[in-house]
Amino acid sequence: MNIYGMTLKDLENYFLDIGEKKFKAIQVYDWLYKKRVSSFDEMSNIKKSVIDRLKKDFSMEDIKVLKVQNGKDVHKYLFELSDLSKVEAVLMNHDYGNSLCVSTQVGCNMGCAFCESGRLKKVRNLEAYEMVLQILNVEEDLKIRISHVVLMGIGEPFDNYDNVMKFIDIINSDFGIAIGARHITVSTCGIVPKIREFTKEKRQVNLAISLHAPNDEIRNKIMKINKVYPLKEVMNAVRDYLKVNNRKVTFEYIMLKDINDSDECALELAFLLKGMMAYVNLIPYNETSHIEFKKTDRDKIMHFYDILKKNKINVTVRREFGSEVSAACGQLRSNFEEGK
């Protein structure tokens, strides 16, 4: 068991189980996440017998930074895990803080036609500690504090639900990295039963839905998952989420040339979201050499934006990060695996 995969509650229960006081969990969290030690021996306010027990029961093994690519306001990391699997994380400097895009799986099975991550099928889920260590490594390397976390790296967070919720609990704890729930965003391609499960948890975490199309006809062509959970079911689940949580939902919409960027699409999207507490984030497509989709021209993106605005939809265009560092979701890993 890796210690970075323990929630504060898990650690408290562990200490109670071994006949120790539960406040030791807070002390350990302090060493791990505030003081950032790299060995149990450095935890100097914990007695030797407990340190020995911790060493026996837990590992503190780190993940390895294999490669870093630095661009303007963007830093892209390729990590190697203990089984030699590779995943990526991308740090973006925004004016409001530093945001890290974290991977949740090795590969992805959702098979979205435009996405590089899914070209290499899912190998396995990431454990919570492997997500936590992405954050710690980037903070250490850049000597910064990360203020925002988005689960938009390789993988589908809701296809690794339990580990992802554990990860959120760990990084959200005030005694740990203390990233506020409202600064954490989970993004899903639309796994309806998990959206419903997430709704019941009433977390303050932000929910983003990768919509990418205003109707089933287009969505079926670019997102395989739509054949399992069609648009209507996704929208019903989101409506129920909004009723229960009173939080806004972001809909991500990649602009793909001649696929989903027409005026009719904009109008249909506006109609679909009418009256909802929704934000639309228009994403300029990050082209990759393996996939034939092209990005919509800037003018056309702005025209699409205007149509949504006119129809009273809250909309933003995502700032483009990282095209110079192969930051299209999953690109660094797939280039590496293919020896480029």
CA distances to 73, 107, 317 from 229, rounded to whole Å, are 37, 21, 27
Q: Hey, which residues does 149 pair with through a beta bridge?
A: 100, 184
Say whether residue 285 binds ligand SAH (CB under 6 A): yes
Q: Which of 88, 127, 130, 252 is catalytic?
A: 88
Decide if 75 contacts 139 (C-beta within 8 A).
Answer: no
Q: What's the start-to-end Cα distance of the chain, in Å? A: 34
Q: Is 280 in the site for ligand SAH (CB under 6 A)?
A: no
Show the binding pattern over residues 189-228: x = contacts ligand SAH (CB under 6 A), - = does not. x--------------------x------------------
Q: Tokens at residue 224, please?
A: 């395989």
Backbone angles phi, psi at 80, to 5 degrees: -115, 130
Rounded distance, CA 42 to CA 182, Å?
33
Q: Which long-range contacts (CB under 8 A, 24 or more apart) does 217-221 make?
A: 218/259, 218/260, 218/265, 221/113, 221/259
* Least gap, CB of 145 to ligand SAH (angstroms): 23
234 binds ligand SAH (CB under 6 A): no
| Interatomic CA distance for residues 258 and 255, integer angstroms | 9
Reading the block at residue 38, the tokens are 């790299």
CB 75 within 8 A of CB 90: yes
307 binding ligand SAH? (CB under 6 A): no
Q: Which is nearer to ligand SAH, 81 or 328 (CB)?
A: 328
Q: What part of residues 104-163 is at the interface with ligand SAH (CB under 6 A)?
A: 110, 112, 114-116, 152, 156
- Exactly one of 32, 165, 283, 315 binds ligand SAH (CB under 6 A); which one? 283
What's the closest the beta carbon of residue 253 comes to ligand SAH, in angstroms?
Answer: 8
Interface pick for ligand SAH out of 251, 328, 332, 334 (rule CB under 6 A): 328
* Residue closer to ligand SAH (CB basis): 172 or 288: 288
The tokens for 55 are 């060493």
φ, ψ for residue 69 (rounded to 5)? -120, 125
Q: Where are the alpha helices (DSSP H) in 160-230?
A: 161-172, 192-201, 216-222
Catalytic annotation present for 88: yes
Q: Given candidates 146, 278, 329, 332, which one binds ligand SAH under the rule CB under 6 A? A: 329
C-beta of 175: minimal distance to ligand SAH in Å?
A: 28
Q: Is 187 in the site for ligand SAH (CB under 6 A)?
A: yes
Residue 187: CB minimum distance to ligand SAH, A:
4
The partner residues of 99 in beta bridges, in order of sequence, read 92, 148
260 counts as binding ligand SAH under rule CB under 6 A: no
| Closest approach of ligand SAH to the CB of residue 208, in Å | 6
Interaction site with ligand SAH (CB under 6 A): 110, 112, 114-116, 152, 156, 187-189, 210, 252, 254, 283, 285-286, 288, 328-329
The catalytic residue positions are 88, 329
